[in-house]
Amino acid sequence: MRVFMTGGTGFLGKAVTTRLIAAGHEVTLLCLPRESVAARAGLHLVTGDITRPDTLVGLFADHDAVVHLAGAVGYGQKMSVCLAVNRDGTRNVAAAAVAAGTRRFIHLSSVSVYGRVAGVPITENAPRLRTGEPYGDTKIDAEEVLEDFVARGELAVTMLRPTVIYGPGDEKFLPKLAQNLLSGKARIIGDGDNSVDLIHVDDVALIVEQLLRREDTIGAVFNVTNPDNCTWRELLAAVADELGVSPPRTRLPYGAALIVAGALEWIAAIRGKEPALTRYAVRVIGRQYYYVVDRLQRDLGFVPCVEVRDGVRECVRELAAAGRLQPGTRARRAR
């Protein structure tokens, strides 16, 4: 199968590209003009920008499917950027696929479309909820854009709504967690007994490859998370153990954490730096969410290929080997 992919130069995209090529697919990777990607067998490179539809003309011809991973993510994204990339970029990619006659479309959305509703089981049929947060709201916009294409019979779409994706190459979640533990500033938010919401990058890549082979998943939406995730307390202990430091003992109540995070965001904005803790992170970490993956397990036979503790240890070792952790951390536990 010839697959056109956006976002293929990112953390998840690299893993999906590797998986698809290993499975025998040919992948065409959309790169921004400034991006440099090493050539390899089964990989074709084209240049374009999903926010500029004129640069996409003719690129999608003779492909069997589109895997749309590109998006504006991370702290501090402005609404204007998220609208341009997540909403309008999705519309531009979909329109280019339709113009080329490519109907099969795999779209990466997010559990953020549910609006962070805690304490209740959340299936794929749960209502989407806008909160004013740029990322989540524009992911809802992107889903609605694709639903319009589907309603017109122009695309055959499957959507994935993953939780936090981690694994080798992660530059956001685990690196920041590790540095907070190394600094001694990490705290347990809430009671720490709520489960983490993580999914390994290799699991997501495998799911994407499965969907391309399964026409019976057209029209479906899938929550994607590890059903056997550990608690936050257990995760912090595992990462701390790998770093050679003591795990945090001090608890920060959820309400207090929101206040502290708000103050840190204000200070960081003045200094032009990224805050050590954000209110968004507090909402993700400090409450229990129940993202139901029964559909993923039933329809695709999903079983996680990486146990969470093993996965995070692998990532910490990769960070250490790359010199991205502060030196001398192994001695800290004995102090």
pLDDT in tens, 217-261: 999 999 999 999 999 999 999 999 999 999 999 999 999 999 999
Residues 80-86 have a mean pLDDT of: 97
Determine the pLDDT at residue 202: 96
At a CB cut-off of 8 Å and minimum separation 6, what does 76 contact? 274
The greatest distance separating any two alpha carbons of the chain, rounded to the nearest whole angstrom, comes to: 65
pLDDT above 90 covers a percentage of the chain that reads: 75
Residue identified by tokens 């805690």 is 118
The answer to whether the Cα torsion of 249, 252, 257, 259 is positive or negative is negative
**2-167+197-224: CATH architecture:** 3-Layer(aba) Sandwich (3.40)
Residue identified by tokens 């936050």 is 232
Token digits of residue 141: 């916009």
CA distances, 49 to each of 25, 53, 70, 76 (Å): 23, 7, 10, 21
Q: What residues does each domain of the chain span? A: 2-167+197-224
Determine the pLDDT at residue 326: 66
Determine the pLDDT at residue 171: 83
Q: What is the pLDDT of residues 116-144, one digit of tens each?
A: 899 999 999 999 999 999 999 999 999 99
> How far, in Å, CA of 144 to CA of 136, rounded?
13
- pTM, two decimals, is 0.93
Q: What is the pLDDT of residues 168-190, one digit of tens each?
A: 888 888 888 898 899 888 889 99
Q: What is the pLDDT of residues 35-79, one digit of tens each?
A: 878 778 889 999 999 999 999 999 999 999 999 999 998 767 889
Averaged pLDDT of the chain: 92
